[in-house]
Structure 1
Amino acid sequence: MKDRLKELLEKENLTPKEFAVLVGIQQSAVSHLLSGRNKPSMDVIQKILRVFKHINPTWLILGDGGMYKSIKPIQGSLFEEKLSTHVNIEANTHKKDENTLKNISEIPVNQVDKFLKTEKKIIRIVVYFSDNSYEEFNH
């Protein structure tokens, strides 16, 4: 299990600290898991799988199969009704986009310039966690 956790951190490009914050467990717990001192509880495994929804649970728990869930291509009959419904939905979406473009073209140029000239930049993000801790990111 420790090797799979190490691989997960490596593939997701995470430090143990970042992983602990994302999953919602203590940094020391991650350290113990990665060293092999402790094995993860079912609660920890569930937290990992809730955060990393694209990870194959069988791989994480048993080491079987690939690390990531496989994406199954949708295959249908040429004359399947669901496929034609899907096309109709996309056609309706396209019509909505055309209407939106018409509405946008009716906006006066001076208002458009006002929005384009606004250069707001994010300078600080604060993330609060359920355990009353927080992490601050500054630009």
Structure 2
Amino acid sequence: MVNSDDFSKRLQKILEYYDLSAAAFSDAIDVGRSSISHILSGRNKPSLDFVLKVIQTYPEVELYWLLNGKGSFPNTPGKTQTPEKQTKQASSTSPAQTVSDDLPAKTSFSENSDKSSADKKIRKIVIFYQDGTFEAFEN
């Protein structure tokens, strides 16, 4: 779980490093100014969308440092990331594409599967869109 007070201190460090006001930062990552204010004050915790926008817009910000305070800021390439990860970050993909690239692909269902899978019932389906939004359908 992310500690709101510690997260807000790390966010403040990012603002100071880039010499940005909260308003300029919110415009740069395309979030509402009140969101920044609420996170900086510790009132709200950051959303996944917020965190993804920060690390996409500012590649020097390391995800684990931002969330947990572990690692370093500014991130020095090669020190904490493998070359494969750096290549993926450098490509221009949406957060949804980046996440899906790291997940194993599920093959299509075969009717010849063992009978135990025929007894399984679907409990929940989650659809992730490229714009970072999602829909969940539960049975």
Question: What TM-score results when the alignment is normalised by the length of structure 2?
Answer: 0.50
Higher relative contact order (CA 8 A, sep 6+): 2
Q: What is the aligned counterpart of 2:11 among 2, 5, 12?
A: 5
Q: What pairs with 1:126-137 in structure 2 (closer than 5 Å)?
A: none
Superimposed CA distance per residue, residues 68-125 of structure 1 (whole angstroms, 9 cap, x where no aligned partner): 222338xxxxxxxxxxxxxxxxxxxxxxxxxxxxxxxxxxxxxxxxxxxxxxxxxxxx
Alpha-carbon distance in structure 2 between the residues aligned to 1:72 and 1:44: 25
1:52 & 1:33 partners in 2: Cα distance?
Answer: 18
CA distance in 1, matches of 2:61, 2:39: 18
Corresponding residue for 1:21? 27
Aligned to 1:38: 44
2:73 aligned partner, one-letter code: M
Which one has the largest radius of gyration?
1
Residue segments in structure 1 that go unaligned for 5+ positions in a row: 74-139
- Unpaired runs of 5+ in structure 2? 1-6, 80-139
How far 1:15 moved relative to its partner?
0.1
Give 2:56's aligned residue. 50
C-alpha distance in structure 2 between counterparts of 1:53 and 1:71, whole Å: 9
- Whole-Å Cα distance in 2 between the matches of residues 54 and 3 of structure 1? 17
| Distance in 1 of aligned mates of 2:74 and 2:12 | 15
Structure with greater helix share of residues = 1
1:63 matched residue in structure 2: 69
**Larger deviation: 61-70 or 25-34?**
61-70
CA distance in 2, matches of 1:71, 1:43: 24
How many pairs align?
Answer: 73
